[in-house]
Structure 1
Amino acid sequence: MASADRTLNRAITRPMLLVFIVGDVLGAGIYALAGVVAGRVGGAIWAAFALALVLALLTAFAYAELVTKYPRAGGAAVWANQAFDRPFATFMIAFAVMMSGVTSAATLARAFGGDYLAEFVSLPVALVAVAFLIVVGLVNFRGIEVSVRLNVGLTAVECAGLLLVVVIGAAFLLDGGGDPGRAFTFKAGEAVPLAILSGAALAFYALIGFEDSVNVAEETQDPRHAYPVALFGGLAIAGVIYLLVTGIAAMAVPTAELAGSTGPLLEVVQLGPLAMPTEVFSAIALLAVTNGALINLIMASRLTYGMASQGIVPSVFGRVHATRRTPWVAIVFTSAIAVVLAVTGDLSVLADTTVLLLLAVFITVNVAVLVLRRTPVEHDHFRAPTIMPVLGIVVCAGLMTQKSAETFARAGVLLGVGALLWLVNRKLT
């Protein structure tokens, strides 16, 4: 009997891929972190986001080369395995990606309990974060079809929210409000380059997501030609929107007010002739935060399930619920870690931990590009200028120096959990 066709349907066109990447990059980070970045860099928030965009583009060159050279799902872990052939190192890269999703969800849980929710009710942030993660975990458990449908709607909402900030803020400035010069001021008492670098190290959180697109490589039409255009185009579109939002926010609202708010964009939309009810925008922001957390927990739980299915971590994590057909043990595991993180860390530290984990992954990907050039493939593919992955390694390492000892400790503990799971699985098999 002929074997079943196991190939995936290549239904994603180049425009669809572009929209997918834009939607994956644009997200809740900007809603939650613009104020924290303002506290690090001063009024020139856009400068930190601009540098973060440049740094993201450097690593995007590496992703563009590898995904067109090896157009299949798996991403960083697959490439690390091909380049270094070290099973433990491959596992740790996959686990770092998974944990970055968990820490990101915890970050957004803290953001959910901040100033946006305070427009409706005032509750302890930690309590809200725990309840929020339980609800998101239940949606994840309910099923992937429900989750994906919800994601499509929430993505449209969060993009509309950012456009509202631009329109309302611009109308306020044109009406004579604000101070355009404020967008070119930096934090007092700190060297400008260091202030921008410190802000970019956190702003980078709002630009992650492009790396997830490699997992639909096997479902994309002509990925060797579609990916570079969609990847760079998607980052450029998201970057322009971020620069508009942060530039207008800095001009419209005093820096101290932005820095002191966990709902910084809320400060913009209540200004000028087109001001909107703060409750309406808060609802949009809360939906955006929910969407980001849902995406991250879906990714983390499915990656955990996938590792269990391949015998890399204990098989218990591969258990699927009998009726919902979802990986319930993996969902409980990732959600529980997110709860612990949300209760023990603040918004800035959790976002920094997410970025630190991904920076380690990005360094690995940039090194893998150079190593895998020793192994040519028969088909044509995008080739990044050699200087790009080299610069990617340098700048990622540079951004890592901006992270605190607490951030490194949190990341180390999370990776230690991964190493423990690896050892337990080796003992059981």
Structure 2
Amino acid sequence: MWFNVVLTLVELTGLLLVILVGFFALGSGNADFSRVIIFETADDKSVFLAITGATALAFFSMVGFEDSVNMVEETKDPQIFPKIMLTGLSITGVIYVLVSIVAVAAVPIGELAASETPLLDVVRAGAPGVPIDAIFPFMTMFAVANSALINMLMASRLLYGMAKQNVLPPVFARVLKNRRSPWVSIVFTTLIAFALIIAVTTILPESVTASLGGTTSLLLLAVFAVVNVAVLILRRQSVDHKHFRTPTALPWVGVFTCAFLVGPWARLDDLIQYQIAIALIGIGVALWAVTWLWNRSVRGSSTRFRHPEDLT
């Protein structure tokens, strides 16, 4: 976790550098901030639908905050977590908005859209003397490692929690005796990650790999819609300890907003995302069915051969 904090600080440094370069370009007269308030679409779509599609795509940038929820039960004071996460979301949102503003102001939108390294182009345009080509590759590497690490931490804890609730085989709930970390889930998710890397780089067609980010956003938005409904239902239960309580209006806003962004109008004509999502959900349902049958058979056999005196 400390290594993850270091990676986050390195990634934050790169974004702050882009922001500072943007403001430097503004002071030098090399930025055109009038482009920030121009809303034009490249086709016959309305501005509203264009912003909707961009929002659904940009949602992928916020992936990671939901990962931390799965780590809360390992913290010393989980009650403060909601406020901390909302604070982190707010800070990240401000940083991303500033990066977007300075990027559009420093480089024309058409050039940003066509570039494979848009942030590098922003720094080159705002501060030509900065040796950006020697610095940013390392920052990019740290940023990728940061996202991968937090996702790996989350995935192992997610399998652990599902195993504890009998959704997955109980072997995934095994933990080390001293450190109490779910070692079986960690090993399994690591193998899954390697398999995905091989599949993406050598097996899957480019049309599929190009849609994986949008598919991730699609599935997470659907999950978040369900989570907000769960909040409205669970809050009806009384809790005898101190806990965080969100205003009632916010879960309703979350339900409708996430459900709206799941729609095809937010997919930017990339409907293959639904096909990938349906395939992944199908795999998940199949694995759940196998696990359910396995758990049922195990419980049945353990009851069938149990000594009569133990049945009490």
Partner of residue 336 from structure 1, selected from 185, 188, 195 = 195
> Using the alignment, how far apart are the partners of 1:372 and 1:315 within structure 2?
26
1:198 aligned partner, one-letter code: G
What is the aligned partner in structure 1 of residue 298 from structure 2? none
What is the aligned partner in structure 2 of residue 393 from structure 1? 255
Which has the higher mean CA deviation after the structures are superposed, 405-414 or 377-386? 377-386
Query: 1:149-198 deviations in whole A, cap 9, x for unaligned?
Result: 54232111101100111111221221111321111222244322111111
Distance 1:346 1:294, change over 3 A: farther
Name the TM-score, length of structure 2 as normaliser.
0.78
Cα distance, 1:341 vs. partner?
A: 4.5
**SS, match of residue 151 in structure 2:** helix
**SS, match of residue 270 in structure 1:** helix
**SS, match of residue 274 in structure 2:** helix
Is the 1:316–1:329 Cα contact (8 Å) retained in structure 2? Answer: no
What is the aligned partner in structure 2 of residue 158 from structure 1? 11
What is the aligned partner in structure 2 of residue 175 from structure 1? 28
**SS, match of residue 236 in structure 2:** coil
Cα distance, 1:359 vs. partner?
A: 1.1
Which has the higher mean CA deviation after the structures are superposed, 169-178 or 211-220? 211-220
What is the aligned partner in structure 2 of residue 369 from structure 1? 231
Is 1:412 matched with 2:278?
A: yes
Distance 1:333 1:212, change over 3 A: closer
What is the aligned partner in structure 2 of residue 73 from structure 1? none
Is the 2:68–2:154 Cα contact (8 Å) retained in structure 1? Answer: no
- Structure 1: state its 5+ residue gaps: 1-147
What is the aligned partner in structure 2 of residue 351 from structure 1? 213
**SS, match of residue 271 in structure 1:** helix
Cα distance, 1:253 vs. partner?
A: 0.9
Is 1:287 matched with 2:142?
A: yes
> Using the alignment, how far apart are the partners of 1:299 and 1:213 within structure 2?
7
| Greater RCO (CA < 8 Å, at least 6 residues apart) | 1
Is 1:266 matched with 2:105?
A: no
Cα distance, 1:333 vs. partner?
A: 2.5
> Using the alignment, how far apart are the partners of 2:188 and 2:242 within structure 1?
42
Is the 2:22–2:31 Cα contact (8 Å) retained in structure 1? Answer: no
1:412 aligned partner, one-letter code: I
> Using the alignment, how far apart are the partners of 2:14 and 2:31 within structure 1?
21
**SS, match of residue 366 in structure 1:** helix
What is the aligned partner in structure 2 of residue 34 from structure 1? none
**Radius of gyration: which is bigger?**
2
2:65 aligned partner, one-letter code: F
> Using the alignment, how far apart are the partners of 1:290 and 1:412 within structure 2?
28
- Structure 2: state its 5+ residue gaps: 296-312
Partner of residue 250 from structure 1, selected from 104, 107, 111 = 104
1:158 aligned partner, one-letter code: E
**SS, match of residue 378 in structure 1:** coil
Is the 1:228–1:382 Cα contact (8 Å) retained in structure 2? Answer: yes
Is the 2:71–2:154 Cα contact (8 Å) retained in structure 1? Answer: no
Count of aligned pairs: 279
2:195 aligned partner, one-letter code: A
**SS, match of residue 420 in structure 1:** helix
> Using the alignment, how far apart are the partners of 2:73 and 2:15 within structure 1?
31
Name the TM-score, length of structure 1 as normaliser.
0.59
1:181 aligned partner, one-letter code: S
2:187 aligned partner, one-letter code: W
Query: 1:221-275 deviations in whole A, cap 9, x for unaligned?
Result: 6544x33432322211111111111100010011122112232211112223453
1:260 aligned partner, one-letter code: A
C-alpha RMSD of the superposition:
2.8
> Using the alignment, how far apart are the partners of 2:197 and 2:252 within structure 1?
34
Is the 1:205–1:355 Cα contact (8 Å) retained in structure 2? Answer: yes
Is the 1:313–1:422 Cα contact (8 Å) retained in structure 2? Answer: yes
Distance 1:184 1:276, change over 3 A: farther
Which has the higher mean CA deviation after the structures are superposed, 408-417 or 272-281? 272-281
Cα distance, 1:338 vs. partner?
A: 5.0
**SS, match of residue 118 in structure 2:** coil
Partner of residue 426 from structure 1, selected from 287, 292, 301 = 292
1:395 aligned partner, one-letter code: T
Alignment of 1:184-203 (within 5 A): 184-186=37-39, 187-189=41-43, 190-203=45-58
Cα distance, 1:289 vs. partner?
A: 1.5
Alignment of 1:45-124 (within 5 A): none
